């Protein structure tokens, strides 16, 4: 595999993680009133890979969120498709959002 192919692959993975982060940020903004009154909130991050740039980013994101939230937000990182394959993970997050909005 050439260096250009590796760079492109790394760029695509980073773009995918960045888009997930934007989605997480949007979800947190929509849930801000609920989070403000909650004792603790748990955020789950899933990745199909492990020990690569997106996984390292998730670990750094976890540390930053937990530090800045003063412990109110707990971040759990699930690398290597521990929560299931990508379609199942997306469907699970849809279910979580719809069930939490109906409370």
Count of domains for the chain? 1
Domain that holds residue 31: 3-101
pTM for this structure?
A: 0.57
pLDDT in the model for residue 65: 96
How large is the angle between the packed helices 3-30 and 53-68, nearest 10 degrees?
30
**Residue that has been written with the tokens 């595999």 in this structure:** 1
pLDDT (tens digit, 9 = 90+) per residue, 15-57? Answer: 666 566 555 554 555 555 554 555 788 999 999 999 999 999 9
């Amino acid at each position: 595999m050439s260096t250009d192919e590796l760079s492109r692959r790394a760029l695509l993975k980073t773009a995918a993680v960045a888009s997930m982060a934007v989605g997480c940020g949007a979800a947190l903004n929509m849930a801000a009133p609920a989070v403000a009154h909650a004792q603790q909130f748990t955020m789950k991050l899933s990745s199909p890979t492990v020990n690569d740039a997106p996984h390292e980013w998730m670990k750094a994101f976890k540390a930053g969120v937990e530090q800045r939230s003063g412990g109110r937000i707990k971040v759990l990182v699930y690398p290597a498709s521990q929560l299931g394959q990508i379609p199942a993970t997306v469907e699970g997050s849809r279910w979580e959002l719809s069930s939490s909005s109906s409370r």
